[in-house]
Chain A
Amino acid sequence: MKLTHIIPLLSLATAVYAAPQTFDFKDPKGVNNAVFKLDAPLESINGSANGISGTVSFDPENPAATTGKIVVSVESLTVPNPMQNGHMHSDKWLDAAKYPEITFEAKSLANVKTEGDVTTADVSGTFTLHGVTKDVTVPVKFTYLKDKLGARVPKMNGDLLVIRTNFTINREDFDINKGQYEDKVSPTIDLSLSIAGASPK
């Protein structure tokens, strides 16, 4: 076989078997965030967290094979009222000292649809909060930004992966004051995650 035949074959093989890229979600710009909302009859609580880390393995040629783990530091959860902040981190609620992390580990994807750089899918995995792990399936939007890392972090080349998801959990499923304070602290918590990960070249 001539060399001129081998090179295109090698290129094809590389394209077909391209290794998935690993995206690191520890954001040096501190933009990555998770927002939480609790709407109880007597009180509405809105807050956010920016202590986000983790890695996701994403192959733009095969998004269905995506796996990864995102970690949110409980200490980074913030609400605008200092007293509520203290209560939220205390052992009466999230117990940040004993359970310092909230994690989501993606294991499989279903209903994967890709249009251009955007992939949507239902991601199934395990969600761990307050030491309790539950299986969940959440709708996720992945946006693959090829060669955009340099636009965000000067003097670096690589790709970005933006992940967005909105879903609801019930604090009672995670043993957080089950059946208590429901008029002031809603049992259902709306979560919204907007994060960008980098894969330097």
Chain B
Amino acid sequence: MKRILQLLAVLVLLAAGATWLVTGANRGWTKTSVMVKTLDPVTGIDGISYEKKFLPGVDFLGAAFLGAGALGVASLFFRRKNKPQTTN
């Protein structure tokens, strides 16, 4: 159990870090939509609309660190399984 929790903590950290990097390493807060500009050819004005898109930010990374930390701490409450010693 101890090993499983430690592995989960590492997995949570790696998955969160990879997601954050792949989605553009946003150093602001997490966004659930992004601004999209569309040019109006007659007036030359850039019309603005919002497209739904999850863009994890530093709060997402922070939550992942906290989660991984909690799993790591939880793992301390479990003892490593001792292999029974065999005597010849």
Which A residues fall within an 8 A CB radius of B? 29-33, 35, 43-44, 46, 48, 50, 78, 80-84, 143, 145, 148, 151-152, 160, 162, 194-196
Contacts and interface: CB of A to CB of B under 8 A. Distances in A.
Interface residues of B, number: 21
Contact of B29 (A33, A81, A160, A196): A81
Given A48-B48, A152-B43, 6 more contacts: A33-B45, A33-B48, A46-B35, A160-B43, A162-B44, A194-B45
Contacts, number: 60
A156 to B, nearest CB: 12
DSSP majority for the B interface? strand
A145 B45 CA distance: 13
A196 B48 contact: no
B47 A145 contact: no
8 A-B pairs closest in CB distance = A31-B47, A80-B31, A196-B43, A152-B42, A194-B45, A48-B48, A31-B40, A33-B48
Contact of A196 (B31, B35, B40, B55): B40
